[in-house]
Structure 1
């Protein structure tokens, strides 16, 4: 019997069509799990015989408690070159190799601007109205001349700034270590944390999730935003306090939000966010393009073949 390779969280059923797995099939029996599994006992049952696991981003967590219950596991491949959901120390201790792939490009930045346009011009509401037989229900606002506040000015934040400047927006940014020189190089203005919320018409989140950023945007920050302002989160859900955001949306402290990421993913069916009319919801589509999937799964194939040849690549 060939060794087993399991691909996780292939919600759209595209993993095997996004790359050429033929060489991998010579050495492994490939299994694909389309539905997300969060229960550790069920994961152990599904993955107990897998020598190789291909994980989609941070969708499935691999703490030490899970890795210790997967004695057959030899290679864990994650899409992307960073995965905070994998206990790398435990993996090394257990002799499990962890490899990655390169990440997404400007897809997240493009989606961020698209979500801002959708909020500003009420695109989803007008689309629903047209399908229901209506005509012109809302009055929008332009992006030109508005202030975009970026929380974080790393790669994605810089790309968003570049696109926003093309729309002739005024772009300001804050991050813990942002200096005026780096801000100027990105054609943005460095501002204080409080000032960003007080002055921005759109606030967009582009920092990684860690102990320092969890709950970074809370009730206090939301309360200082303009009533006409919007917040956009394409980074990680817990960076914005979920309860505080829900309250701000319910009482119209802010005009609305656009969210591509959530505390729990997939978003539970009964989550109250699904019932609010002033929030645009997307199912974590920031990186979901044909080009990115081809890169993710194509390099996952490379990682598996390199490991099988005794020379693993892109180690985490």
Structure 2
């Protein structure tokens, strides 16, 4: 791959599977399927999903990140045949390796080099072009470069409907619920933490407390757990997103707090003040809800001091898709 592919070898991007197509013990082609792109306007428009639960469903999409036919094996129909064979076993291999299924495949084709003929021949669907921005160490490039063609391939006939429906089927859920923060969410979060007392010393204080708490809250809402995951999520924020979180601006760019700063703040901040601020923010986001969905789960083998089994009721707004409350309780006498 490093020797013959124009993009070179591919580093591991999240969950990744590599395939080698062989014939009579000779290598014919190399493929890799990786985690889906976080954002792709053409793909997202074709799916039709809401941004609020888009991030919670990206695990159901895999990206054909590399496809290489070795130079000595450029024969008619080989590429589409290899691609079709890979698709047939990918869903099973992905579930066996990572524990959840796939509904959709995506790939990006550089029109300056290729036309996507093999994908069209393999019944992939062209859904549009990217905007031309690329990922960098600081988020995304400031200016667009070469736009890419976007192709998708449903692995089930109803994949588009499954991905876009308001409530995801239980068989496709994986891990804790996640959401995608909007620009309005990022702007509003620091405001609600502005009145919380800062437990840190004034000397050497670089990042505002409200910014650190807002980033930690935003990362947690997006499914991050632990200081390392929160700090990595913060590093992936674009410069525009960092500005919305009111990050420190120095040397021409917005800097995010490190894992050490995040850990120090979260371990020392007043938990009651933090909880109250989050409740106020959640109430504001849910102000558009006209109806509520209420559900409860019984915790197996969870017994309180009085010998009663514990339950977790939760309330979710229909319009905002936000969880208003989720509280552990015991059975009423």
TM-score band, normalised by the shorter chain?
Answer: under 0.3
TM-score (norm 2): 0.22
TM-score (norm 1): 0.23
Higher RCO structure, 1 or 2 (CA under 8 Å, sep 6+): 1
